[in-house]
């Protein structure tokens, strides 16, 4: 992606704002009208607004369930043709709601918005944006409502961007249009030290660096997807995460937060939507892991945590986590891979979850690990597996202990205090 | 539209069949699977099948009602972006169902299928079809499932074809691909002498000429839209109307039905989905009708029956029928027109319906009119207005007397006998 070359785009006084509204913000006609009023207010103040919208509420899940009724293993290319309609429905409804408020507006599909992607269905990457139509419509004074999550490949086949797709559309468009900032509107007030539904004492973080947000997002904080944060970081696009329905400043994600303390635990993230997959008794030859993860990656399935157990008698168990929602379509690929590497069998465990402690404090403070284990074991929570980076520690635990673990760790690091 | 120039297209042994499935045939996952089995059977026998599908059941009505919730007068351009998703959902579901049966299949949107239209939203006309993608996919042995009812204009804005749109897509594709025939699958077994739900003694018509079918369709026989029949007639494309769920031959619409009797009453059609609009006390100047119907036509609204009443004191009432479903979006246009021509007011009456007697027998048999009026008056049914062509007589009556009128006329012309 390249920044626009039109000098009008870099004229600060005429820069646009990109606003993204997720599924829960547009789940009904009433909510769409509420969001339209918010967009109209920005339009009145600022003039140039691009709104990126998700599918209404659970409509994507309904389409998936319809697809599975006609075919338990639907081809990904057809799933994309189907699933893209979710966002394609929201966009014109939002444009209509804006028109009713007297705000000129036009909806665009991914294709019409010039969003070109790779051909990896269900998790395509944006390779280019041809924004001329958007620019033309903004010049005409219209709010441009773009259907998120979708694009087209070279053959004009519809693709979807996978998880975090609409966030990705929004940030990528903001970059391409040299927007002043990208605002992510959601059903929470911003980024918290833990999920407030799990830990009521969780505190809003006013500013956070891209790299910390990336870690947060990578380990399960649902508020934003890491792909979108990464694009923001690469192009230094300021991202604001805030509530759709409360007029609060939210969380600013940027390069150098004003009040940053580099020796802090930022917060606790958790993810109950993961499944553990184990390939049992794999012959322990060099290149086995590459073969397994190469094939899985080619199928467009993201692997999160990889654990290769100690080898016994020349065999090893290879276990890793994937999104639980990817499990059923991963099955045929995993079975195929298991045959190829002569694994004994494929076992899937959906009774697990991950809980992560995120923060730069891990740099050079080894005592931190002990605090995490002690806090969990005091609650009788067993740690099945563990992975770490320089800015996070993630543990795999039983899914039914997630809330207890989040609260224990939040208290341990005194995150309820600033 | 021009016939394909690729010689492969005119090689009879390799000609494709186009099959169209309407909304009631694809209203659920189960029905989609049933239809997929029928397509698969044709594919096994014939190899080259293009299936054109409508939106599932009432899904278009649901989208319309959603739109009206956010904006009582939604812009037509946005309505098209929205409504096209109905067919775009069915097509990949059908392709998935076929794949599950082991039949290679691919779904295409109107854009992907190369369907180029005018820019008159909600009642666009097909101006060109670029069928290369369809031909390529057929060559690969795939069933091609095309989303009916939709296309794109030059700006790549999505358009919908209005009423009869999916029939129109199917027949136009059959012509463009030089198909052997176009099969219209529906919830009835073919074209009947009257709607069998109203007159149980109605008889299936095995063969009918394009011109008679056109009249039938024009006066309300829902089984096929006149636009689609007209394309079939222009390009001599044989059209078969038959039941989706019974294996019966149906009705063949062609140039010269084998057993045609040119002095016959073909059947009775009715239409309860009409509204009468009256512009009252219009100053009776030359060019008034042209001004009124020009403006209405420009707004993409079809007028069916026009009656200009006798002038009194230089004023006249101008009344005409339109589809009831067009009434609400016609309102602003009609009010505007009424102001321009200085009409007193616009009155709409939705308590009416039309009943038509169709057949070439009208050519030179004046006694026919008397039989129609006598049959209706014997039932105490009042005829409000009447129009005729060489092959039909249409009367406007009270909507609650439609069934009685259909049965009375069916009996009068002894249509229950061959």
At B191-241, the pLDDT tens digits run: 999 998 899 999 999 998 898 888 888 776 678 888 899 999 999 999 999
Q: Does the pLDDT at position A13 exceed 70?
A: no
Q: Which of A295-304, B20-29, B389-398 has the highest mean pLDDT?
A: B20-29
Top mean pLDDT of A380-394, B237-251, B363-377 is at: B237-251
- Across A282-286, B39-43, B373-377, least confident range: A282-286
Judged against a pLDDT cut of 90, whether residue B20 lies above it is answered with: yes
Q: Any idea what DSSP says for residue A206?
A: S
- Inter-chain residue contact B32 with A109, CB threshold 8 Å: no
Mutant choice from A93, A100, A136 vs B, greatest count of B C-beta within 10 A: A93
Neighbours of A130 (CB within 10 A): 11
Q: Going from the N-terminus, what domains does chain A have, and what CATH number goes with each? A: 7-254 (3.40.1160.10), 274-349 (3.30.2130.10), 352-412 (3.30.2130.10)
| Residues of chain A found within 8 Å of residue B144, distances taken between Cβ atoms | none
Answer whether residue B262 shows pLDDT above 70. no
Question: In angstroms, rounded to a whole number, what is the distance separating the alpha carbons of residues A71 and B33?
Answer: 9
Nearest to A71 among B69, B82, B100 (CB): B100
Q: Is the dihedral of CA B337, B297, B226, B154 positive or negative?
A: negative
Q: What's the mean pLDDT in A191-212?
A: 91
Distance CA A318, CA A309 (A): 6
Nearest to A338 by CA among A398, A277, A380: A277
Cα A10 versus chain centre, distance: 28
| Mean pLDDT value across residues A175-193 | 94
Q: CA of B116 to nearest chain A CA: how many angstroms apart?
A: 15
From A85's Cα to the closest Cα of chain B, the distance in A is 6
Nearest to A292 by CA among A318, A315, A274, A325: A318
**Nearest Cα residue in chain A from B146:** A81
At B385 the pLDDT is: 82
Least confident of A306-310, A358-362, A365-369: A306-310
Q: Collect all residues from A whose CB is shorter than 8 A from any CB in B.
A: 29-30, 32-33, 36, 63, 66-67, 69-72, 74-75, 77-79, 81-82, 84-85, 88-89, 91-97, 99-100, 106-107, 109, 111-112, 156-158
pLDDT digits (tens, 9 = 90+) for B93-131: 999 999 999 999 999 999 999 999 999 999 899 999 999
Q: Which chain B residues contact residue A146 at CB under 8 A?
A: none
Q: Which of left, alpha, beta for B16 (phi over 0: left; psi -120 to 50: alpha)? A: beta
Tell me which chain B residues have a C-beta less than 8 angstroms from the C-beta of A157: 112
pLDDT for residue B41: 96
Helix ranges (H only) for A101-164 are 132-139
Residue B1, pLDDT > 60, answer: no
Which residues of B lie inside 8 Å of A (Cβ-Cβ)? Answer: 29-30, 32-33, 36, 63, 66-67, 69-72, 74-75, 77-79, 81-82, 84-85, 88-89, 91-97, 99-100, 106-107, 109, 111-112, 156-158
**Closest of B280, B288, B276, B275 to residue B346, by C-alpha:** B280
> To the nearest 10°, the Cα dihedral for B221, B224, B227, B232?
-130
pLDDT in tens, A371-393: 898 999 999 999 888 887 777 88
Read off the pLDDT of each residue in B67-73 and give the average, rounded to a whole number.
96
Contact at 8 Å (CB) between B345 and B293?
A: no
CB atoms A85 and B88 under 8 Å: yes
**Per-residue pLDDT at B258:** 55
User: If you count them, how many residues does chain B have?
Assistant: 418
pLDDT band at A291 (very low <50, low <70, confident <90, very high): confident
CA atoms of A386 and A307, how far apart (whole Å): 9
What pTM value is reported for the model?
A: 0.82
């Amino acid at each position: 992606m390249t920044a626009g070359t039109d000098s009008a785009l870099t004229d600060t006084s005429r820069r646009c704002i990109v606003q993204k509204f997720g599924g829960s913000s547009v789940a009904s006609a009433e909510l769409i009208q509420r969001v339209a009023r918010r967009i109209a207010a920005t339009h009145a103040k600022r003039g140039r607004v691009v709104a990126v919208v998700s599918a209404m509420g659970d409509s994507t899940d309904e389409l998936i369930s319809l697809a599975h009724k006609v075919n338990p293993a639907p081809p990904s290319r057809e799933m994309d043709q189907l699933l893209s309609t979710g966002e394609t429905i929201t966009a014109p409804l939002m444009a209509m709601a804006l028109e009713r408020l007297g705000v000129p507006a036009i909806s665009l599909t991914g294709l019409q918005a010039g969003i070109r992607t790779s051909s990896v269905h269900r998790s395509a990457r944006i390779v280019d944006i041809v924004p001329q139509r958007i620019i033309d419509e903004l010049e005409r004074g219209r709010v441009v409502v773009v259907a998120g999550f979708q694009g087209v490949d070279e053959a004009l086949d519809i693709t979807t961007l996978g998880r975090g797709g609409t966030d990705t559309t929004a940030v990528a468009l903001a970059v391409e249009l040299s927007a002043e900032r990208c605002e992510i509107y959601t059903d929470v007030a911003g980024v918290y030290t833990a999920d407030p539904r799990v830990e009521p004492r969780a505190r809003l973080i006013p500013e956070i660096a891209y790299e910390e947000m990336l870690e947060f997002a990578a380990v399960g904080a649902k508020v934003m997807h890491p792909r979108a944060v990464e694009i923001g970081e690469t192009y230094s696009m300021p991202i604001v995460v805030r509530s759709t329905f409360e007029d609060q400043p939210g969380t600013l994600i940027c390069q150098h937060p004003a009040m940053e303390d580099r020796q802090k635990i930022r917060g606790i993230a958790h993810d109950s939507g993961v499944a553990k997959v184990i390939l049992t008794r794999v012959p322990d030859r060099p290149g086995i892991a590459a073969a397994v993860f190469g094939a899985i990656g080619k199928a467009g399935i993201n692997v999160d945590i990889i654990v290769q157990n100690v080898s016994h008698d020349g065999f090893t168990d290879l276990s890793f986590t994937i999104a639980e929602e990817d499990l059923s379509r991963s099955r045929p690929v995993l079975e195929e891979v298991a045959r190829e590497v002569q694994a004994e069998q494929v076992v899937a465990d959906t009774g697990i979850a991950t809980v992560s402690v995120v923060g730069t404090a891990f740099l050079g403070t080894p005592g931190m690990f002990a605090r995490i284990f002690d806090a969990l074991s005091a609650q009788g929570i067993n740690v099945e597996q563990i992975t770490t980076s320089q800015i996070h520690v993630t543990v795999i635990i039983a899914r039914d202990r997630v809330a207890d673990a989040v609260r224990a760790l939040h208290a341990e690091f005194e995150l309820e205090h600033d």
